[in-house]
Chains A and B, each alone.
Chain A
Amino acid sequence: MKEELIIAGFGGQGVLSMGKIIAYSGIMEDKEVTWMPSYGPEMRGGTANVTVIISDKRISSPILRWCDTAIVLNQQSMDKFEPMVRKGGLLLYDPNGITRHPVRKDIKVCSIEAADLSNRMEMSKAFNMVVLGAYLKMKPILERHNVIQGLKKSLPERYHDLIPMNEKAIELGMKEVKEVI
């Protein structure tokens, strides 16, 4: 098993922490993981992205030209990462704020209205967990209980009372993700 994933969006959307939760969940399953942020000027506003690799075997390059999955949360990231998805791979995006929708026909394209849904449910802070749920539904590479463990490991203890809400958000994402035809 090897999953090469890029998550990209605006700074503040929880892109890096979503990647961290996925990586920690991988450790819970005793897999090899790398988490490589774009930490450059992006961190000071603008777009942010992170590359996460989860594998049964030792991971070679943390730098990718192609990825199995791209999770895209703004237009700039769509332009940059849609072409990077491997043929047959997955592109998951939130249509909120997207002006040019994906055009590729050789990959699977899914959408999750995470911004809308999380706002409506009054848990906008768990936006990225809705996206995570959608991803795990389409790519069930990690056991549910390990993801919750990963979540616990990534969150400082003072936020652990928020875990039930995050679980609910993950469930919501799993339920609401749609394949785009």
Chain B
Amino acid sequence: MAEKLLKKGNEAIALAAIRYGADGYFGYPITPQSEVMETLMEEMPWETTGMVVLQAESETSSINMLYGGACCGKKVMTSSSSPGISLMCEGISYMAGAELPCLVVDVIRGGPGLGTIQPAQGDYFQAVKGGGHGDYKIIVLAPASVQEMYDFVGLGFDLAFKYRNPVMILSDGAIGQMMEKVELRDPVRRLTDKEITEKYGHWATVGKPASRKGNIISSLSLAASEMEAINLRLQAKYQKMRENEVRFEKTMCDNAEYLLVAFGSSARICEGTLEIARSKGIRMGLLRPITLFPYPETAIREMLPQLKGIMSVELNAGQMVEDVRLAVNGAVPVEFYGRMGGSIFSPEEVFEAFAKKFNL
């Protein structure tokens, strides 16, 4: 049996990166995720696996270091929190445009602006709807436990390379700072340069053999017809993500009449709300989107015949609720409950809001 450790979500991210054969981490410290780089520095993976860990001079710089590393077919990642991610959005758009794989970890803090260092989920729109410019999408994974923080690093890298696209782990200060039991998975070693050339030589800039033309990686294409063709290809790729990568978890949904929809730390709190509701004889279920893009809209839609109402529960002013409403398309009432700016609700508070909205 693998060893079980007590780790913070942020520490789990760092340990997972080393053990999943990441080639490089480039970041800039910001609360509440500084333990990611701190743990990497303590572990000194450059002496064991050869992984590079570098503190850049800014978030803008670190995302562009990812651009460079990814061009060479390397498994590269960064982590930051809300204001830092805002600075990275230009780079993420460029990487989506240039079709480069990378893993970005966002441990959200309360905003807007510098806001607060307490947990929030106010960056759902930024992660899921863009953040940067242009018609791009990134796969967004929302962990709800420290074990998932660990596991989604490997999953995130796999998806990033499968689609040659940035992937984001969207977490928050609660999951990042919380300690839980975490089971380390079997290590995966880093690819050698030869293996990278074999696997990714058809697109990565790994040295041009005489047998083929050079690979050019760019997000610039001035001719409108060419740029439209690139956009169509990207959209086809995003459609494949929608078809193949939707992930979600249902709890007590089989006979549910009411449904809570929540992700990340909110979903954990809503599990407590379910226990309260069930103890009062209310048939409540919970649907937890694990991928925020692609969104599990079909899973919600399939439940509609059995439902009297849905409440989206988020640590923001109501962002994901828009996607729930799009999925439901008016078929049943969709309510929202949220707190903002670093305040967190208890399971009881969510239940009271639910009971009030549905007159129960």
Contacts and interface: CB of A to CB of B under 8 A. Distances in A.
Interface stretch (A55-63, A70-78, A126-134, A159-167): A55-63
A26 B224 CA distance: 61
Interface stretch (A7-15, A29-37, A90-98, A170-178): A29-37
Given A36-B174, A36-B178, A62-B268, A27 B346 contact: no
Interface string A11-52: 000000000100110010000111111011100000000000
Interface residues of B, number: 29
Contact of B6 (A20, A36, A59, A62): A20
Contacts of B265: 62-63
Contact of A27 (B6, B270, B272, B273): B6
Contacts of A27: 4, 6, 181
Contacts of A154: 6
A60 B178 contact: no
B334 interface: no
A23 B182 CA distance: 12
Interface in B137-178: 173-174, 177-178
Q: Is the interface of A mostly helix, strand, loop or mixed?
A: mixed
B117 interface: yes
Contacts of A20: 6, 179
Contact of B269 (A33, A40, A61): A61
Contact of A63 (B4, B274, B342, B345): B345
Contact of A34 (B116, B178, B275): B178
Nearest to A61: B272
A61 B6 contact: no
Contact of B177 (A23, A32, A36, A61): A36
Given A20-B6, A27-B6, A33-B6, A63 B344 contact: yes
Nearest to B286: A60
Contacts of A39: 32, 117, 173, 177
A60 B347 CA distance: 9
29 contacts: A20-B179, A32-B180, A33-B6, A34-B179, A35-B178, A36-B177, A36-B179, A39-B32, A40-B117, A40-B342, A59-B180, A60-B268, A60-B274, A60-B347, A61-B269, A61-B270, A61-B271, A62-B174, A62-B178, A62-B269, A63-B174, A63-B265, A63-B269, A63-B272, A63-B344, A63-B347, A65-B348, A65-B349, A154-B6
Given A27-B4, A35-B180, A153-B6, 17 more contacts: A20-B6, A23-B6, A23-B179, A35-B178, A37-B178, A39-B32, A39-B177, A41-B117, A59-B180, A60-B268, A61-B268, A61-B269, A61-B272, A61-B346, A62-B178, A62-B265, A62-B268
- Pick the 8 closest A-B CB pairs, nearest first: A61-B272, A60-B271, A35-B179, A65-B346, A60-B272, A61-B269, A65-B348, A61-B347
Interface of A: 20, 23-24, 27, 32-37, 39-41, 59-66, 153-154
